Structure 1
Amino acid sequence: MTSAGASCTTRSPGNVRVSAPNADSASPARSETARMKRRTFLGALGASLAGCAAPAVIASPTPMQTSTSAPTPAPTATAVATQRAPDWTALRAALRGTLRTSSDAGYDDARVLYNTRFDTIRPVAVAGCIDERDVQACVRFARDSGVPLRVRSGGHSYAGWSTGTGLVVDLRAMSNVTTAAGKAIVGAGAQLIDVYDQLATQGRGIGAGSCPTVGVSGLTLGGGLGVLTRAWGLTCDQLTAARVVLADGTVVTCDANNEADLFWALRGGGGSFGAVTSLTFDTHPASDLALAFLIWPWADASAAVAGWQSWMRDAPDALWSTLHLEGGEGEKGVTTHAVYPARAADIASEIDRLVRLVGRPPSYRESGARAYRDVMLLEGGCLNRPVSACHLKGTTADGVLERETYAASSIVARDALSNGAIDALVAGIEHATSGGASVLFDSLGGAAARVAPDATAFPHRGARTVLQLIASWRAGASGDASLRWLADTTGIARKNIGTDAYANYVEPDLTNWAAAYYGANYPRLQRVKRRYDPDRLFDFPQAVVPA
């Protein structure tokens, strides 16, 4: 089970990158304001785009030697009756996959995450697991030796908690995707671009995020937002079963009828309960999707946000949209993107209604329809590009995507934002002068709201919007000014909006994280933790604490 969620960014004109809509559902299509004006949104879009987590000024294709991040807090050592000195040679012999230590070739490539901020963290070893037995061997090794354990699916944790100073269990090779009878069985290390591509060839799809290299496991365990959230629900709502290696090294299959409390916790409760090795999802027929893109002048930013949230209040359940405010060193921009499982004419009509509510004409507007697979590839910046190329450099033979440098915060808004709250966020972007600065508004509601707040561990069912604030800077440079902007702007926004937050946009400095991420569901999560991992083998700074 991964310890944190997923993340993604996109490029804007010039040298500064601006964010995609959110860590789960980032989309290069959403931030390419100037490029949109120069080419057809529904045609060639995506061919030259890339990126995936939060906005970054300059990507870093190789491990950095320095980092602007604070050290990762030391995890709690696992308490067991007896522990013996770690025998790394025995672990290496027990694995069918690889075990890399600092003296092994490929160690640096194996240890780094998507975010370059955490490049100075050096695990004792990284286990490249290729099957469930490898994961069991690693869990038993950590339990018996007391070596701190971290589990990594895609490596997009905002706080760097899919790595650590002990043993990292890397699931990326466990990436098979199979379909049968409307179900998809997906390896925990599968990346979203490959899941979408393989399901689409079978005429099926799931609702998940848009960042191509995000791991499906971390995304699902934290909830899973995306462009089809309002139509098909959160990614965790589509989960029907999971295989999990528990803290004692045994394996269970959990679903609604077996290990039901564990199954409940896996759907939005984060990565505190075991190492998930595979996930089974309900799939949906992959029909065409309508989509639209609009740009407003920066002078109309407050009006655009106010009109957008009024529009989404009365939107059809299946219509999803995001709005971005973007600034920093680059040109300030206001963009809106929408996806709707309907006809092109239907989304055009809805966009007419949006423009009326904003009360100001957009400077750019386009809408149309594409096949499901095309839309998912476009959302990840991969349309007109081989799927194999839509991976990080060095992870596939032709991978072209770069890593990013960023930090982020989130606010889950239960109600519509006041005019004062909107104006404060716009002012925040205007005051940003370093790196990239973004405020993203992603719509909730629809199918996600038709699930009771306690039916899964994800509690924010009645919320209207998930906001994400993102600061980015050049890899290897000081991010102090960007981090100050993020802290100040987030602090003001929380006073105006509220303190609920989204677990997949993990914030290491968030003091009320248990209430912010999980609300009234946290006590039940603590009871599940006590049953399945009382000694906190699967631990990190914001892991659920046993009751």
Structure 2
Amino acid sequence: MPRSIEQVQAAVLCGINHQLRISAKGGGHSSGSYSLGGENGHLVIDFEQMDQVILSDNHTAIIQPGARLGHVSVELFNQGQRAIPHGTCPGVGISGHVLHGGYGRASRTHGLTLDWLKSAKVILSDGSIAHCSATDNTDLFWAIRGAGSSFGIVTEFEFDTFGPPENVTVFAIDMPWSESGVAESLKAVQSLSLTAREELNLAFDVTASSQAIRGLYFGDEHGLVQALQPLLTNLKTQLSDVKSVSWLEGLEYFAEGEPLVRPQPYNVHTTTYTSSLTTPPLTDEQINALVLTLFTNINDTNARHSWDVLFELHGGPKSAVAQTDLAATSYAQRDKFLLWQLNAFGEDGNLPRESFVFLKQIMDSVTQSMVDGDWGMYANSIDTQLDGNTAQKLYWGDNLPRLRKIKARLDPSNVFWNPQVLGQKEVSSDKDNSTRLLTAISLIYKKLSAILLQTIVWQGTVARVTIEYNSEARSRHWFLNMFFALQQIDKGIIV
């Protein structure tokens, strides 16, 4: 756990000298635990001891990569009543959050966390320290604002800040639970957000037994009611909860009881599968197909796991996210209206396979009627079921060619790596991969007789293989179910 930039640099140089791949651990909130590298023999630089937040007289802030969002918000406000937009979970680390987006309850008004990044210090793959900004190492500055974990270890962030209002208004609308009710609510929320002013920040949350509209308004209760009136009239409903609170109280409201400042990192692990979507406004037909999928599966899936789907009103004509030019940063989702986060939660350490199938069915219900490029995914909601190349295309879209060129120039040896960062090998076809797999199997089992390959089923870069062979020792047939990963096949290792 380094305490200074020099110690981080020494750790990176040590990793380079020992041919280790390297990643940074800022908050440890990754749904895929990718800050741990995603492989054995990986060097992890844990920033728990580097969490300072220093606000200057000109309202810029220097923030170290181990600072967590709640700590950042409290320090900025206490030091000078300043703020940056960010997500709702206080224990999320600022580093991964800003480097891949940073959407939260103030983003429709003030944009993404990365939109407020002014400069950064980055340790590169040769161990050197680079300063990047709008005028210095501009390619690197463009790249780290959206795909940052691929290019180096950021040791210091400089942010511009804004002055939050003395009070904001938080609210909730709990809606009756029914198939038609969910469809009508999503249509109404979407319709309002296409025209609502930027002070209104909205999210729509659906679970297997409830639906709720929640948000934050930069203004008083009277202004909120006026802004929401078309929605309230359309749904024939009223506010379930509304109150004017201070800026920090507003952040606490959406933290759902979690303290803003966490004395310890997240050490409790949950059995969760997470995915995301970024989409244009949904048609009525797509909303109906989505809701039909949800309700068709509820009885079959809820008994073994719980789930929720959160729809964030991310873009649109009045959103600050969409006001920044799409080419200004490597974040590729600014033109998308909805940001979805999908979660399935297991019990007792188990997550049934149908959880993965169910979330994919939810996504397919709308994406199957879209063309490539109409939809993507959000890199801060890691989907561990995606292979690296598929993830890159969905996270970074049209920005991918430029990002790959910068990666090849700045990190040609893929020092900074996890299973989905830039620099992955292009994935071959299943046929080509199966040929490679058969070669690996034949080398491993060449001393055994009567080998019969039963099946190969590919899921991205991972194959489930069933093999029948005659055991010379026992003179009987055995069936093996094994999992092979392309990365290990290249090394001749079974996993």
Coarse TM-score class (shorter-chain normalised): 0.7 to 0.9
Which of 1 and 2 has higher RCO (CA within 8 Å, sep 6+)?
1
Aligned to 2:149: 271
CA distance in 2, matches of 1:513, 1:465: 18
Aligned to 1:160: 33
Deviation at 1:437, TM superposition (A): 1.2
Aligned to 1:100: none
Aligned to 1:509: 385
Q: State the SS of the aligned residue for 2:132.
A: strand
Q: State the SS of the aligned residue for 2:340.
A: strand
Deviation at 1:366, TM superposition (A): 2.2
The equivalent position to 1:254 in structure 2, one of 129, 132, 135, is: 132
2:314 is the counterpart of 1:441: no
Is the Cα contact below 8 Å between 1:392 and 1:403 reproduced in 2?
no
RMSD: 2.0
2:413 is the counterpart of 1:413: no
Deviation at 1:207, TM superposition (A): 0.2
Question: Runs in 1 of length 4+ with deviation above 4 angstroms?
Answer: 391-394
Deviation at 1:222, TM superposition (A): 0.5
Aligned to 2:183: 302
Aligned to 1:387: 261
Aligned to 1:174: 50
Aligned to 1:360: 236
Q: State the SS of the aligned residue for 1:151.
A: strand
Q: State the SS of the aligned residue for 2:212.
A: strand
Q: State the SS of the aligned residue for 1:322.
A: strand
Is the Cα contact below 8 Å between 2:91 and 2:261 reproduced in 1?
no
Residue 386 and residue 266 in structure 1: after superposition, are their counterparts in 2 closer, same or farther (change >3 A)?
closer
Is the Cα contact below 8 Å between 1:272 and 1:539 reproduced in 2?
yes
Deviation at 1:393, TM superposition (A): 6.8
Deviation at 1:531, TM superposition (A): 2.0
Is the Cα contact below 8 Å between 2:314 and 2:336 reproduced in 1?
yes
Query: Computing the radius of gyration over CA atoms, which structure comes out larger, 1 or 2?
Result: 2
Deviation at 1:378, TM superposition (A): 2.1
For 2:192, the aligned partner's letter is: W
CA distance in 2, matches of 1:475, 1:378: 29
2:68 is the counterpart of 1:191: yes
Deviation at 1:487, TM superposition (A): 2.5
Please list, as runs of the form range in 1=range in 2, the aligned pairs for 1:396-435 lying within 5 A after superposition: 402-414=268-280, 416-430=281-295, 431-432=297-298, 433=302, 434-435=304-305
The equivalent position to 1:473 in structure 2, one of 339, 342, 346, is: 346
2:327 is the counterpart of 1:454: yes
For 1:502, the aligned partner's letter is: Y
Deviation at 1:496, TM superposition (A): 3.9
CA distance in 2, matches of 1:490, 1:326: 15
CA distance in 2, matches of 1:285, 1:221: 23
Deviation at 1:475, TM superposition (A): 4.2
Aligned to 1:64: none
CA distance in 2, matches of 1:321, 1:455: 25
For 2:95, the aligned partner's letter is: S
CA distance in 1, matches of 2:350, 2:332: 38
Moved more, 520-529 or 155-164: 155-164
Deviation at 1:492, TM superposition (A): 2.6
Is the Cα contact below 8 Å between 2:27 and 2:266 reproduced in 1?
no
Aligned to 1:136: 9
Q: What is the aligned residue count?
A: 404
Which structure 1 residue ranges, 5 or more long, are not aligned?
Answer: 1-127, 395-401
2:406 is the counterpart of 1:537: no
Residues 76-122 of structure 1: per-residue CA shift (max 9 Å, x gap): xxxxxxxxxxxxxxxxxxxxxxxxxxxxxxxxxxxxxxxxxxxxxxx
CA distance in 1, matches of 2:193, 2:81: 29
Is the Cα contact below 8 Å between 2:51 and 2:63 reproduced in 1?
yes
CA distance in 1, matches of 2:170, 2:230: 15
For 1:227, the aligned partner's letter is: R
Aligned to 2:364: 491
Is the Cα contact below 8 Å between 1:413 and 1:464 reproduced in 2?
yes
Which structure 2 residue ranges, 5 or more long, are not aligned?
Answer: 426-495
Is the Cα contact below 8 Å between 1:223 and 1:235 reproduced in 2?
yes
CA distance in 2, matches of 1:545, 1:156: 23
Deviation at 1:355, TM superposition (A): 1.4
CA distance in 2, matches of 1:170, 1:513: 25
2:253 is the counterpart of 1:372: no
CA distance in 2, matches of 1:539, 1:231: 34
Deviation at 1:147, TM superposition (A): 2.1
Please list, as runs of the form range in 1=range in 2, the aligned pairs for 1:514-525 lying within 5 A after superposition: 514-525=392-403
Percent sequence identity is 28
Q: State the SS of the aligned residue for 1:310.
A: helix
CA distance in 1, matches of 2:260, 2:417: 37
